[in-house]
Chains A and B, each alone.
Chain A
Amino acid sequence: MSGQRSTESLVSLNVKLALAMFPLILLFMMFSFFVVLRHEADILEKETRLRGSSLAASLAIISGEAMRTFSDFQLEENLDQFARLKDVRYALILNQDGRIVASTEPSQIGRTPDDPLNISAQEASGERIKTLQFQDQEVMDVSQPILVAGRRLGTVRIGLGLDALRRGLAQSRRYLQGLTLILLSGAIIFAALLARRFTTPLLKLATTARKVAGGDLQARAKEDSNDELGLLGKTINRMATRLQTMLEREKTARKRLQKRVHNLLEFAGRVQAGDLTGEAPAGENDEMGQLTMAVNEMVRHLRIILEEERSMRDNLEKSRAELEAANEKLKELDLMKSEFLNTVSHELRTPLTSIKAFAEILLDNVGEDVETQTEFLEIINKESDRLTRLINNLLDLSRIEAGRMKWESEQIDLYEIAESALNALRGSAEKKGLLVEANLEEDLPTVGDKDKLIQVVTNLLGNAIKFTSEGGKIVVTAQRKDLLTARILVKDSGVGIAPEFHESIFEKFSQVDSSETRDIKGSGLGLPIARSITEHHGGKLFVESEAGEGSTFIIELPLHLEKEESEEDESENLPGFHAKLEPGQTVLVVDDEPSIRRFLRHILESEGFLVIESRSGEDAVQIARREKPSLVLLDLVLPDIDGFEVLSRLKERDETKNIPVIILSIIEDEERCFRLGASDYLPKPINRERLVQRVSGLIASGRSRKSDDEPRRVLAVDDDDSVLKALSTILENHGFEVDIARNGKDGLESARANPPDLIILDLMMPIMTGHEVLLALKQNTNTAEIPVMILTAAEPDERIRALKGGAESLMTKPFSEKELAKLVKDSIQAIRVPEDEKPNEKEKD
């Protein structure tokens, strides 16, 4: 920059110099002209004077002799010689008197002019020089005395014309003028050249600069001179180069930016078109890069959102499809259900038809012969049996399918199972004239429901007998198949089953429909039930057969060498069938069916219980309040209020709520029964053995409850350790045993495993809230009776909800030791009074 500025100032000075040159040179020339001219004039004058002097001296000398001799002629002669000299205008010789003795002007001779010049010449002792006008010409007049032997004899005067001198001077002046002019012109040309010398490169520089400014960045100034111009050129060039570099850089950057913008736009276009894959290249981390990254991020978010949306849509679609499928399935199930109902109805009506017909026939034909009557009664009996079987099978099947079948679980041997079935049916087989062979391996232990497994084998054996004609053979085999599996095979030599029916015979109400088999009526449910039972035991039931070749039905069951622990525990906990009973335990039997009441009375009395009967619900509630029986056997279908109502009324009154109730019913709503507080549920038809076992167990366990002396156990459930600590300390100080649980789930498990006398429950807890725990506690008969005290800082709504959910008491955080201890004692007391009557709920399962 500074270089540029100095270059600018230099340019300016040069211009000024060029402009100033002309007058300066002019002045100098004029000065030189005058000096030279003057000098020359001086020199010429001196020369002229010297010449005059020497001419005069010479004349004086040569004239001395003549004067002395007075030889005029000589004088004349001498004078003539001088007169011939070109510049001598005149010459004269004066004598001592001032008379002209010789002159170049003959007229003058002899005269004694009073010419001042002569006088001055005579008077002068030596040389005298004067300039005068002579005949209009400037003349130098030089006089010189003529000295002979020291005596002055005369005076010579010479007039030298000065016009030559003047002429020489004029000529010199002219020369000088010409020279001056030439020099001036030269100077001007020089100045012009000099100016041009400076301005041309400047102009060039300016042009270059203009070009550069106009965009021609290739333009370069000359920079070879090592002066300011060179510097300027270099600077301009550097500037241009720099500008060019900058522009190129800028151009490159712009191109790159354009490309990136293009990329981004392209990407945006793709995104707009719905292609969200990939991303725009971000390049450097500048604003554009950041913009690109931001766009990428946005698109990534968009993609995630879209993917989520798509996945949601897919899920929705899937859910919808599932829903539709479920709906279809439901419809199918509904259809199946109504088909099943139709079939059931048909199957039920069929035996009923004969029963009804023959009963009526017998009634209308009392006088008929005994043989016919007996025949008809036998038919009625058979068809009744068939109907009963059918109903039982239906109920079994429904229980199994609904998962409500009561399964015993005991250690059994398949040998015994096969043998029991054989023993039951050997008679009828032999009666039909069939040969029965048994190959029973011993020691085939398994765990399961003995009766039901016997039922399976009996069913298979029964079928074998049915479908094998006289003279045929049935082989029952029990054997180990491998280390883990045992099998029972029932092989007959009967009609056999075509392979296409091998699966369908296990479907409900499906029978191989042929005239050969139609006269042998089954319920069509035996095999499905048998298969369900087998499968429940983790086994398989299948058939191997060819039509006409006999069939082999095979049961495969897993072998169990050890009892499962839980079962062991359970059986230990179950008060035995033969539990010692104190005499006089009263059982209230509630059923509107007198025959059932009679049946129950018979069973219970034979086991040593006292029995009170009631045939309606209202009545039963009254009796229970009055008599406080040890146990209630309750039917659900009653003429006035139903069994559920009876149950809830019993449970809502303090004096009856601890009496264990066993539901005896064909209505399958165990859950509701347990929810309402039933201790057990036994389906009809009544299994005597099981009934006695349950009744004895419940009564015995009720009597063996712990005494009042034992310390009360409190289970504290809270997720706050400090609260748990405070509770433990306070309650232990007041003689309670304290169990703690840090979340609802643990609390619930603890309460189930070891039911405490009171549960202190926080509402706001992780994993399971207090409400959930409360609900679970109240729904389980093992824990439903345990009083629950809510300890909470929660909102009033929550507290009300907890109380509605069955909590006995409520304490708000923070609490005082005194309040807490009192409330805990009260809560336990309230429940504790009828402790002895409290049944052992564990017995239930």
Chain B
Amino acid sequence: MPKTIVIADDEPHVLRSLEFILKKQGYSVVTAVNGEEALERVKESNPDLVFLDIQMPKMDGNSVLRHLRDDPNYQDLYIVMITAKGQEADRLNSLESGANEYVTKPYSPRKLIGRVKEILGE
């Protein structure tokens, strides 16, 4: 049973790159192009890991994060913010809201895969 990863980003090319590298590693990848969709996909798929962009239409990544953390079912879900917002304040904001990690764009696919493997304990 492959582990499931939800990725949410409104940038189709970013989504495409993440999807490609994660699928390449054999993960099951579920994508979402906005915050509301991301929340739905997480609830549907019960993933092992979630990548959230912050600046998304309809609902931003931090809101999605807080919604999830408010739900007892997702207290332990590993959530990684992946965003072009590079300010320290943004980073702290997300970490305080319950993000496990904060990755700044542009990201390195290689390093990201390495990190995903660590997180998922492989």
Contacts and interface: CB of A to CB of B under 8 A. Distances in A.
Q: Which of B12, B33, B105, B108 has the most CB of A within 10 A?
A: B105
B57 A349 contact: no
Given A342-B85, A350-B11, A513 B105 contact: no
Contacts of B58: 515
A345 B33 CA distance: 21
Nearest to B85: A346
A383 interface: yes
A357 B85 contact: no
Contact of B86 (A345, A513, A521): A345
Nearest to A356: B106
Interface in A340-361: 342, 345-347, 349-350, 352-358, 360-361
B39 to A, nearest CB: 15
Given A356-B106, A357-B109, A360-B108, A349 B14 contact: no
A361 B23 CA distance: 13
Q: Which of B14, B34, B107 has the most CB of A within 10 A?
A: B14
Nearest to A360: B109
B33 to A, nearest CB: 8
Contact of B17 (A358, A382, A518): A358
Interface string B89-122: 0000000000000001111111000000000000
Nearest to A515: B57
A364 B21 CA distance: 10
Interface string B53-94: 001011000000000000000000000000011110000000
Given A342-B87, A353-B11, A354-B14, A364 B109 contact: yes
Given A361-B17, A514-B57, A515-B58, A353 B109 contact: no
A715 to B, nearest CB: 58
Contacts of A355: 106
A354 B110 contact: no
Contacts of A518: 10, 33-34, 57
Nearest to A519: B12
A379 interface: yes
B21 A361 contact: yes
B62 to A, nearest CB: 14
Contact of B105 (A350, A379, A521): A350
Interface string B11-25: 111101110110010
Contacts of A514: 57
Nearest to B12: A519
A382 B16 CA distance: 14
Contacts of A347: 84
A345 to B, nearest CB: 6
A379 B17 CA distance: 10
Q: Which of B11, B12, B85, B108 has the most CB of A within 10 A?
A: B11
Contacts of A388: none
B109 A346 contact: no
A353 B105 contact: yes
B117 to A, nearest CB: 15
Q: Which of B12, B20, B87 has the most CB of A within 10 A?
A: B20
B109 A513 contact: no
A365 interface: yes
Contacts of A364: 109-110
B19 to A, nearest CB: 11
A365 B21 CA distance: 10
A829 B10 CA distance: 70
B85 A353 contact: no
Contacts of A519: 10, 12, 33
Contact of B107 (A345, A356, A383): A356
B20 A513 contact: no
Contacts of B55: 346
Given A361-B17, A514-B57, A353 B107 contact: yes
A354 B84 contact: no
Contacts of A352: 105-106
A383 B13 contact: yes
A353 B85 CA distance: 12
A354 B108 contact: no
Contacts of B34: 515, 518
A345 B34 CA distance: 21
A350 B14 CA distance: 8
Contacts of A342: 85-87
A547 to B, nearest CB: 16
B16 A379 contact: yes
B106 A349 contact: yes
Given A356-B108, A357-B106, A515-B58, A349 B16 contact: no
Contacts of B85: 342, 346
Interface in A355-406: 355-358, 360-361, 364-365, 379, 382-383
Given A345-B84, A357-B106, A360-B109, A379 B57 contact: no
Contacts of A346: 55, 84-86
A347 B12 CA distance: 15
Contacts of B14: 350, 353-354, 357
A514 B33 CA distance: 12
B12 A357 contact: no
Nearest to B11: A350
B17 A357 contact: yes
A355 B58 CA distance: 26
Nearest to B9: A353
A347 B109 CA distance: 20
Contacts of A379: 13, 16-17
A345 B86 CA distance: 8
A519 B10 CA distance: 7
B13 A354 contact: yes
B85 to A, nearest CB: 6
B95 to A, nearest CB: 18
Nearest to A349: B84
Contacts of B87: 342
A416 B43 CA distance: 57
A353 B12 contact: no
Contacts of A354: 11, 13-14, 16-17, 106
Nearest to B20: A361
A353 B86 CA distance: 13
A513 B57 contact: yes
B55 to A, nearest CB: 7
Given A353-B14, A379-B16, A361 B84 contact: no
A361 B10 contact: no
Contacts of B86: 342, 345-346, 349
Interface string A651-679: 00000000000000000000000000000
A354 B17 CA distance: 7
A780 B34 CA distance: 56
Contacts of B18: 357
Nearest to A365: B24
Interface in A218-263: none
B84 to A, nearest CB: 4
Nearest to B108: A360
A469 B115 CA distance: 41
Given A361-B109, A364-B110, A353 B84 contact: yes
A513 B59 CA distance: 11
Top 10 A-B residue pairs of the complex, sorted by shortest distance between their CB atoms: A349-B84, A357-B17, A356-B106, A354-B13, A353-B105, A353-B106, A346-B84, A352-B106, A349-B105, A518-B57
19 contacts: A346-B85, A350-B11, A350-B14, A352-B105, A353-B105, A354-B16, A356-B107, A357-B17, A357-B21, A358-B13, A360-B108, A361-B20, A361-B109, A364-B109, A379-B13, A515-B33, A515-B34, A515-B57, A519-B10
Interface of A: 342, 345-347, 349-350, 352-358, 360-361, 364-365, 379, 382-383, 513-515, 518-519, 521
Given A349-B104, A364-B110, 7 more contacts: A342-B86, A349-B106, A350-B14, A354-B16, A357-B106, A383-B13, A521-B11
